[in-house]
Every structure is written in C-alpha cells, then in structure tokens.
C-alpha cells in the first residue's frame, strides 16, 4: 500500500503530524525537568510506541537509554481481549532505576496497569507513564499516568505507530478509518 492509498483509507484526521510534534516537545521539556540528574530508562511498548519513542527521545535534552517490551493484549481486531502476555521482556535490570514507560495509547488501561505493576515488582526507583493518547471514556481500570499528550474520543484510531491488522503504523497523523476498510 502506498502513502496516498493509506491516507485515502482515513475517514478523518484527529491529530496532525505538527500537533503531535509540538505536544511531544512540551512533554519532553516536562520530563527533562522531572528526571534532571536521575538515572532514567525509557521503556517502550512494542510495536505501537515506536513512533512516540523515536520522536520523544529526540526531543529530550538527555541521552537516556531505551529498552523495549512486547506484550499481547489485542489480536488483529479492534477489541481488547483483557489478556496480557509478555512476548518480549526487557533486556535491562531495572533495580534502583527510574523507569518511564512510553506508550502510544491507553484505551481500557488494562495493558498498562498490568505492565506498570509488573515493572514495579522488580524494585525500580520509580515507574511513571507517558502516553501520547488516552481515551478517558474507555477506561476500565484507573491507571496513574503522569504525562498525557491528547485525550481523544472513544473511537478506534490508526497512524503514528497505531495499527489496524498491523497496517497503517506509518501514517504521520492519527485518524479514524473509513467504514469501507472494515468491511
Ligand atoms: P488497553 O489495554 O488500554 O485497552 O489497550 C492497549 C493497547 O491496545 C494499546 O497499546 C494499543 O496497542 C491497542 N489499542 C487500544 N486502542 C486502540 C486504538 O484506538 N487503535 C489502535 N490501533 N490500537 C489501539
Ligand atoms: Mg501500545
Ligand atoms: Mg494493535
């Protein structure tokens, strides 16, 4: 699929590339202040957080190391299964370190609350969360999220790392898909 076709499958653009970058610059400034002089480890959740991580880490004025986790909570569809399983664990020992989880989106909150509890059990100095997107209406569990880019309506979105059946991750904006894509 080429870029023009990918864009044609969108129904509407919710957040533009420019808006995303401006927001990540703001978040990076706050994060830099919070972790000034501290041993910060960025932890990205594959695969959705790849774009957020790439832009956030370049916006940060410090050279924080990065590690990745992969979990499964969604299949190829659009509904949460509520089941979390570690597909790829961290390479890093996080004991005594300040961990910042970097996420694309919090929907029900089930995945992130599970990941946060899992990382907290490894005796880090702290665990906080930064997410680009959050759907407040979809929350099933309360997750303590320190930095949120945008609160969005309870709709299925793609782009900027977010997929539908593993496609559309490369879109530079965040948007909703046209109905013909689902049928
Ligand atoms: P949660 O456990 O908070 O319901 O969702 C966790 C994961 O589901 C997210 O990290 C993301 O991968 C996926 N997800 C949730 N909402 C959406 C959405 O609107 N679009 C896409 N593409 N993925 C979503
Ligand atoms: Mg994610
Ligand atoms: Mg997905």
- Higher-scoring residue by pLDDT: 6, 118: 118
Per domain, the residue ranges of the chain are: 18-73+81-155
Contact 42, 53 (CB under 8 A): yes
pLDDT tens digits, one per residue of 140-174: 888 899 999 999 999 999 999 999 999 999 999 99
Alpha-carbon torsion 123, 31, 105, 171, what sign? negative
Atom of ligand 1 nearest to the CA of 143: 3
As given in the structure block, the two tokens for residue 171 are 């879109």
Beta strands in 47-109 (DSSP E): 66-74, 80-88, 98-106
pLDDT tens digits, one per residue of 103-117: 999 998 988 999 999
Nearest to 162 by CA among 149, 153, 171, 152: 171
CATH entry, 18-73+81-155, from 3.40.50.620, 3.40.920.10, 3.40.640.10, 3.40.50.2020:
3.40.50.2020
Which residue out of 25, 107, 144, 163 is catalytically annotated?
Answer: 107
Q: Is the CB of 106 under 6 A from ligand 1?
A: yes
pLDDT tens digits, one per residue of 11-22: 999 999 999 999
CA geometry: angle 153, 34, 26, nearest 5 deg: 45
39 is catalytic: no
The alpha carbon of 38 and the centre of ligand 3 are apart by a number of angstroms equal to 32
Quote the CA–CA distance of 85 and 65 in Å, as a whole number: 24
Quote the CA–CA distance of 107 and 136 in Å, as a whole number: 8
Cis omega (within 30 of 0) for bond into 47: yes
The protein residue with its alpha carbon nearest to ligand 1, atom 6, reads 111
Alpha-carbon torsion 112, 149, 147, 23, what sign? positive
pLDDT at 35: 98
pLDDT tens digits, one per residue of 20-77: 999 999 999 999 999 999 999 999 999 999 999 999 999 999 999 999 999 987 555 5
Mean pLDDT of 81-99: 91
Q: Which of 51, 85, 107, 154 to mutate to test the pocket of ligand 1 (most atoms within 8 A of CB)?
A: 107
97: CB partners within 8 A, 6+ apart: 39, 40, 41, 124, 125
Q: Is the pLDDT of residue 79 over 70?
A: no
18: CB partners within 8 A, 6+ apart: none
Nearest to 145 by CA among 107, 94, 183, 88: 107
């Amino acid at each position: 699929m080429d870029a023009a076709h990918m864009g044609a499958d969108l129904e509407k653009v919710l957040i533009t590339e420019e808006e995303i970058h401006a927001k990540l610059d703001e978040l990076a400034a706050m994060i830099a202040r919070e972790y000034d002089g501290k041993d910060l480890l960025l932890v990205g959740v594959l695969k959705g957080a790849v774009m957020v991580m790439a832009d956030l880490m370049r916006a940060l004025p410090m050279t924080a190391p990065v590690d990745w986790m992969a979990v499964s909570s969604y299949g190829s569809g659009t509904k949460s299964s509520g089941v979390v399983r570690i597909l790829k664990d961290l390479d890093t020992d996080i004991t005594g370190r300040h961990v910042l989880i970097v996420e694309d989106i919090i929907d029900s909150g089930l995945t992130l609350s599970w990941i946060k509890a899992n990382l907290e059990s490894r005796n880090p100095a702290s665990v906080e969360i930064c997410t680009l997107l959050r759907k407040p209406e979809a929350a099933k569990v309360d997750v303590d999220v320190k930095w949120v880019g945008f609160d969005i309506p309870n709709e299925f979105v793609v782009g900027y790392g977010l997929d539908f059946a593993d496609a559309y991750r490369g879109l530079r904006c965040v948007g909703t898909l046209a109905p013909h894509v689902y049928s």
